[in-house]
C-alpha cells in the first residue's frame, strides 16, 4: 500500500513537471515571434528575446525529457500544484524579455507586467508606449492572448475537477449528464482553440478595416478577445477615435466575456443555447440595463448629448465588466457616483468559462437565488421547497460553496487593501487596486492608478502584493490557499 502510494505520488509529480515543461516550451516558441519582429526592424531587442527563448526552452526541454518516461497520473492534489506552479513558472520566464531588452525593467516590474499580462489583468507599469519597440508591444499582446486561452482551458477542465469556488458549476451549466459537449477531451480542446483563433482573426480583420495598421490590429485583437486590455499607446484605445473601431472593441469584449463552451455547442448547431444559457442571458441583460441607466444619467446630469453619452458609457461599461480595462475617456471626470458603480461592476465581472475576471455572474445568480430560497423557507417553514437557480434545480451544497467563496474573497480583499495602505497609499487607491488585482481588471480609481494613470510609481512591496492578488484572482483563490496550507503537504 505504501509502495503504491509512493508510486502514485511520483507519477503525479512527473505529470506536473512534464506539463510545466510543455508550457515553457510553448512560451519559448512564442518568444520567437517578437524576436523575428525586432530583428526585421533592426532592433537589438531581438537578441534579448532569443536569449530568453533559449533559457526558457532549455528549461522546458529538461523538464519534459526528465519526466516523460515515468508513469504519469494527475491526482487532485497534484492538480492544485500544477495550476499554481505553472502560472508562477511562466510568469518568471515571461519576465525575461522585459529585463534583458532595452527598457531594462527590474525583476519586480518585469514580473508585475508579465503576471498582469498572463492573468489578462491589464495593469501596467510602462509609460511611453507610443515610442516603445514593436517586439515588446507584441510580447505584451502575446502574453495576454496566451493567458486568455490558458484561462479558458483551466476554467473548463482543471478548476471544475478541483471544485474550486463553485467552478464545477460550469459543467452543469453547459452539459447534461446524458450528453457531453464533446465526446473526447482532445476534440473539445481543439474546438476551444479553433473558436479562440477564429474570433481573434475576425477581430483583427475588423480593426484593420476600421483604420488600424496591421501590427496594431493584431496586437489589439489579441488583447481584446482575451479581455486583457494591453494597448500599444498610452491613450489606450482612445488613440483611435473612429466609432467603427470602438464598436468592434465593444462587440469582441462581450464575446470574450461569454462562456466559450457555449460557442463549442453552437458549432454543433445548438444556436438556441446562446440565449438559453442562464449566465450569458443575465450578463447581456445586465449590460443593457447598466448602459441605459448610466447613459441617461450622463445626459441629464452631465449635459452630454445622448448619442455621445451612449457611446462613452457603452465602451467603458463593457470594458470594465468584461475586465478588459481599455480606456477611451477618464470616467472619474463624469458625474458624481460613477466611480462607485464602476467599482461594483469590477467585482461582478463576466461569465464562468470565459477570459473575463471578477467573481462571475453565475455566482451572483446563485447568491440571489439562495437569498430567495431562505426567505421562502422563513415564510413557509413547513413547505418542501426546492432550491433552483437560472431555471435549474440545484443541490443546497452549492449555496455553502458559493457563499464560502464570497467570504474568502471579501476577507482577501480587505486584507490586501489594508496591506497596501501600509505602504502609504490612500484609501481610494488601496481599495480600487485590491479590486482590480483580485478581479483582474486593470485600471483602478484615483489620481495614481486611475484611467489616466498607471502602477509605475507604486512601491515595490505594493507591486509584489498586487502580483500575488492577480494570481489569487485568476486561480480562484482556493487553489493557491490550499497549496499554502501545511495540511496540504501531509501524506
Structure confidence by residue, pLDDT tens digits, 278-336:
788 889 999 999 999 999 988 888 778 888 889 999 999 999 999 998 988 877 777 77
Give, for 388, the enclosing helix (H) or strand (E).
Answer: strand 388-389
pLDDT at position 372 is 85
pLDDT at position 179 is 40
Radius of gyration, CA atoms only, the chain? 22
3-class SS letters over 126-183: CCCHHHCCHHHHHHHHHHHHHHHHHHHHHHHHHHHHHCCCCCCHHHHHHCECCECCCC
Structural domain contains residue 292:
no
pLDDT at position 307 is 86
Structural domain contains residue 238:
no
Report the candidate in 422, 424, 420 with the shortest Cα–Cα distance to residue 432: 420
Specify the DSSP class assigned to residue 454.
-
Number of structural domains the chain divides into: 1
Extract the residue ranges of the chain whose pLDDT is less than 50.
1-5, 7, 174-183
Q: How many CB atoms lie within 10 A of CB 300?
A: 12
Q: Which domain holds residue 450?
A: 383-489
Q: Phi and psi at residue 221, in whole multiples of 5°?
A: -65, -40
Structural domain contains residue 393:
yes
Angle between helices 427-438 and 460-474 (to 10 degrees): 40
Report the candidate in 5, 13, 96 with the shortest Cα–Cα distance to residue 50: 96
**Burial readout 383-399 (b: 16 or more C-beta within 10 A, e: otherwise):** eeeebebbeeebeeebb
Cα–Cα distances in angstroms (integers) from residue 32 to residues 29, 47, 91, 138, 476, in the given order: 5, 10, 17, 11, 31
Structural domain contains residue 325:
no
Distance of CA 427 to the CA centre of its chain: 25
pLDDT at position 60 is 93
Q: How far apart are CA 182 and CA 189, in angstroms?
A: 9
pLDDT at position 353 is 84
Report the candidate in 209, 228, 221, 215 with the shortest Cα–Cα distance to residue 249: 221
Structural domain contains residue 159:
no
Report the candidate in 349, 319, 352, 348 with the shortest Cα–Cα distance to residue 152: 352
Counting beta carbons within 10 angstroms of the beta carbon of residue 476, is it exposed (0 to 12), middle (13 to 18) or buried (19 or more)?
Answer: buried
Structural domain contains residue 432:
yes
Cα–Cα distances in angstroms (integers) from residue 325 to residues 191, 383, 439, in the given order: 27, 47, 11
Counting beta carbons within 10 angstroms of the beta carbon of residue 110, is it exposed (0 to 12), middle (13 to 18) or buried (19 or more)?
Answer: buried
pLDDT at position 177 is 38
pLDDT at position 181 is 39
Structural domain contains residue 447:
yes
pLDDT at position 178 is 32
Structural domain contains residue 92:
no
Where do we find the cell 489606450? 236
Amino acid at each position: 500500500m505504501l509502495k503504491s502510494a509512493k508510486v502514485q505520488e511520483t507519477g503525479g509529480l512527473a505529470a506536473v513537471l512534464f506539463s510545466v515543461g510543455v508550457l515553457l516550451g510553448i512560451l519559448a516558441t512564442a518568444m520567437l515571434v517578437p524576436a523575428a519582429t525586432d530583428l526585421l526592424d533592426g532592433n537589438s531587442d531581438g537578441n534579448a528575446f532569443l536569449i530568453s527563448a533559449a533559457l526558457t526552452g532549455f528549461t522546458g526541454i529538461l523538464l519534459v525529457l526528465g519526466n516523460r518516461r515515468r508513469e504519469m497520473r494527475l491526482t487532485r492534489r497534484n492538480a492544485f500544484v500544477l495550476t499554481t506552479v505553472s502560472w508562477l513558472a511562466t510568469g518568471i520566464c515571461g519576465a525575461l524579455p522585459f529585463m534583458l531588452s532595452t527598457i531594462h525593467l527590474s525583476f519586480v516590474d518585469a514580473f508585475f507586467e508579465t503576471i498582469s499580462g498572463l492573468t489578462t489583468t491589464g495593469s501596467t507599469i510602462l509609460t511611453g508606449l507610443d515610442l516603445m519597440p514593436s517586439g515588446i508591444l507584441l510580447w505584451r499582446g502575446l502574453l495576454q492572448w496566451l493567458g486568455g486561452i490558458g484561462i479558458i482551458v483551466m476554467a473548463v477542465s482543471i478548476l471544475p475537477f478541483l471544485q474550486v469556488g463553485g467552478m464545477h458549476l460550469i459543467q452543469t451549466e453547459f452539459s447534461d449528464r446524458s450528453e457531453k459537449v464533446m465526446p473526447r477531451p482532445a476534440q473539445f480542446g481543439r474546438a476551444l482553440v479553433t473558436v479562440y483563433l477564429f474570433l481573434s482573426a475576425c477581430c483583427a480583420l475588423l480593426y484593420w478595416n476600421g483604420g488600424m495598421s496591421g501590427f496594431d490590429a493584431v496586437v489589439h485583437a489579441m488583447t481584446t478577445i482575451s479581455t486583457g486590455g494591453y494597448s500599444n499607446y498610452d491613450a489606450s484605445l482612445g488613440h483611435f477615435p473612429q466609432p467603427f473601431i470602438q464598436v468592434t472593441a465593444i462587440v469582441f469584449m462581450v464575446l470574450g466575456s461569454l462562456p466559450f463552451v457555449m460557442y463549442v455547442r453552437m458549432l454543433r448547431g445548438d444556436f438556441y443555447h446562446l440565449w438559453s444559457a442562464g449566465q450569458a442571458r443575465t450578463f447581456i441583460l445586465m449590460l443593457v440595463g447598466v448602459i441605459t441607466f448610466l447613459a441617461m444619467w450622463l445626459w441629464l446630469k452631465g449635459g452630454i448629448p445622448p448619442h455621445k453619452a451612449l457611446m462613452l458609457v457603452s465602451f467603458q461599461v463593457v470594458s470594465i465588466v468584461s475586465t478588459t480595462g481599455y480606456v477611451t475617456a477618464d470616467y472619474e471626470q463624469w458625474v458624481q457616483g460613477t466611480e462607485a458603480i464602476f467599482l461594483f461592476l469590477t467585482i461582478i465581472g463576466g461569465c464562468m468559462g470565459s477570459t473575463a475576471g471578477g467573481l462571475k455572474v453565475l455566482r451572483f445568480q446563485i447568491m440571489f437565488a439562495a437569498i430567495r430560497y431562505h426567505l421562502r423557507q422563513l415564510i413557509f417553514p413547513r413547505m418542501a421547497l426546492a432550491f433552483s437557480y437560472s431555471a435549474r434545480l440545484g443541490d443546497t451544497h452549492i449555496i455553502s460553496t458559493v457563499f464560502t467563496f464570497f467570504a474568502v474573497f471579501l476577507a482577501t480583499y480587505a486584507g490586501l487593501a489594508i496591506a497596501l495602505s501600509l505602504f502609504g497609499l490612500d484609501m481610494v487607491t488601496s481599495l480600487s487596486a485590491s479590486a482590480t488585482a483580485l478581479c483582474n481588471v486593470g485600471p483602478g480609481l484615483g489620481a495614481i492608478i486611475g484611467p489616466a494613470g498607471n502602477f509605475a510609481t507604486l512601491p515595490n512591496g505594493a507591486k509584489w502584493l498586487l502580483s500575488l492578488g492577480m494570481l489569487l484572482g485568476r486561480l480562484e483563490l482556493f487553489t493557491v490557499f490550499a497549496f499554502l496550507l501545511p495540511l496540504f503537504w501531509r501524506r
